[in-house]
């Protein structure tokens, strides 16, 4: 009996050793899920800044390698935040299926969807603009919104213009100057959008809210252009009363709808190629050949004009001065 009891006790010890391995397994699984949870609650904004910065670096490196004739072309290393669509590039301005004609070569630098390039990270611009426009944001005269594709600066029309007017005030010029101090070195696309309320307007300058919204957006564009922003990266959008931010049934809602929005795209103006720059520099060269015939006595000269495409044109006519 004593021997039997000893044997039974030894067998029980061996059969319960699986608990040790099971406890180790559960500990490892717990540690794994703790790590996964900590990664899941990481601040999304900080991760987005890192992602945009790395993407910007890789894109620049790829462009530099392709220009030098080295490197291998392939898919990007980072996952895009969203699908590459025309809506992401142009925003709310493209909303229906009816499309206009295709732009001809030479006129599509601003809207060429085949030459997309990432610009300066929007998150860093957002932080700098928050600091530059802090007083106006606190007063409710300005508002910044950031998503994956656009950084929008909403400016109240009461801050920028008088009632029914598109003439910018001194305060408007100061605000635009503050915005320019942040975006002066970036080449991101800029869309300037004008909005109004639904109160009808019909004066000697504007026959409709369409015209008023476009005129106000144009004035903001001209202010930015006068400060030094490249006109090729800017465009105007006028929405009139047909894209309200709030209800027009109350004075507060109508005040909310009267604004100008400066929208910065995550995409930037494409870099001009060397061939394009060379073509722009090509001009007609005129070679004058003296003629000893009787026509020469009448001061007529034969001119051989070299054309940019390699041809020549021979003429004795004087070129008209423009």
At residue 204, the pLDDT reads 82
At residue 8, the pLDDT reads 54
Cα end-to-end span (Å), the chain: 125
pLDDT under 50: residue ranges of the chain: 70-113, 274-275, 278, 281, 283-297, 321-322
Total Cβ atoms within 10 A of residue 293: 9
Per the DSSP assignment, residues forming a β-bridge with 152 are 145, 263
At residue 202, the pLDDT reads 83
Per the DSSP assignment, residues forming a β-bridge with 235 are 191
Burial class (CB in 10 A: 0-12, 13-18, 19+), 239: buried
Do residues 304 and 287 make contact, with C-beta atoms less than 8 angstroms apart?
Answer: yes
At residue 73, the pLDDT reads 46
At residue 234, the pLDDT reads 95
CA distances from residue 75 to 45, 59, 235, 311 in whole angstroms, order as listed: 25, 11, 30, 42
How far apart, in whole angstroms, are the C-alpha atoms of residue 109 and residue 116?
Answer: 10
How far apart, in whole angstroms, are the C-alpha atoms of residue 221 and residue 193?
Answer: 10
Greatest CA separation for the chain: 145
At residue 37, the pLDDT reads 81
CATH ID of 115-270, from 3.30.1330.60, 3.40.47.10, 3.40.220.10, 3.50.30.40: 3.30.1330.60
Q: In which residue are the tokens 């006790």 written?
A: 9
DSSP 3-state assignment of 7? helix
How far apart, in whole angstroms, are the C-alpha atoms of residue 66 and residue 98?
Answer: 37
How far apart, in whole angstroms, are the C-alpha atoms of residue 221 and residue 227?
Answer: 10
At residue 263, the pLDDT reads 96
How far apart, in whole angstroms, are the C-alpha atoms of residue 122 and residue 109?
Answer: 22
At residue 319, the pLDDT reads 55
Pairing of strands 234-240, 142-146: unpaired
How far apart, in whole angstroms, are the C-alpha atoms of residue 7 and residue 190?
Answer: 85
Structure tokens at 94: 């493209």
How far apart, in whole angstroms, are the C-alpha atoms of residue 116 and residue 322?
Answer: 38
Q: What are the structural domain ranges in the chain? A: 20-69, 115-270, 275-315
- Model pTM? 0.53
Q: Which long-range contacts (CB under 8 A, 24 or more apart) does 171-180 make?
A: 172/220, 172/223, 173/223, 175/133, 175/136, 175/142, 176/220, 176/223, 176/224, 176/227, 177/227, 178/132, 178/133, 179/129, 179/132, 179/133, 179/153, 179/224, 179/262, 180/224, 180/227, 180/228, 180/229
At residue 197, the pLDDT reads 93
């Amino acid at each position: 009996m004593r021997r039997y009891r000893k044997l039974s006790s030894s067998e029980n010890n061996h059969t319960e050793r699986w608990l040790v391995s099971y406890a180790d397994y559960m500990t490892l699984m717990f540690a794994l899920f703790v790590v996964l949870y900590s990664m899941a609650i990481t601040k999304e904004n900080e991760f987005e800044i890192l992602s945009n910065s790395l993407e910007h670096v890789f894109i620049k490196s790829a462009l530099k390698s392709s220009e030098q004739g080295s490197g291998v072309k392939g898919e990007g290393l980072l996952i895009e935040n969203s699908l590459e669509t025309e809506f992401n590039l142009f925003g709310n301005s493209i909303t229906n299926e009816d499309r206009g004609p295709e732009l001809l070569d030479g006129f599509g630098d601003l809207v060429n969807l085949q030459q997309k390039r990432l610009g300066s990270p929007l998150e860093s611009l957002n932080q700098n603009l928050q600091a530059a426009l802090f007083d106006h944001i606190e007063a409710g005269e300005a508002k910044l919104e950031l998503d994956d594709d656009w950084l929008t600066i909403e400016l109240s029309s009461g801050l920028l213009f008088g009632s029914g007017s598109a003439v910018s005030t001194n305060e408007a010029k100061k605000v635009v100057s503050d915005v320019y101090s942040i975006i002066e070195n970036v080449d991101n696309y800029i869309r300037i959008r004008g909005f109004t309320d639904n109160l009808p307007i019909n004066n000697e300058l504007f026959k409709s809210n369409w015209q008023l919204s476009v005129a106000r957006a144009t004035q903001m564009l001209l202010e930015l252009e006068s400060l030094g922003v490249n006109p090729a990266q800017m465009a105007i959008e006028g929405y009139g009363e047909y894209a309200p931010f709030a209800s027009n049934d109350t004075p507060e809602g109508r005040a909310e709808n009267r604004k100008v929005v400066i929208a910065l795209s995550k995409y930037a103006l494409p870099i001009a190629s060397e061939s394009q720059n060379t073509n722009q520099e090509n001009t007609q060269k005129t070679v004058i050949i003296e003629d000893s015939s009787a026509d020469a006595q009448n001061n007529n000269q034969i001119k051989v004009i070299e054309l940019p495409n390699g041809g020549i044109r021979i003429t004795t006519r004087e070129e008209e001065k423009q």
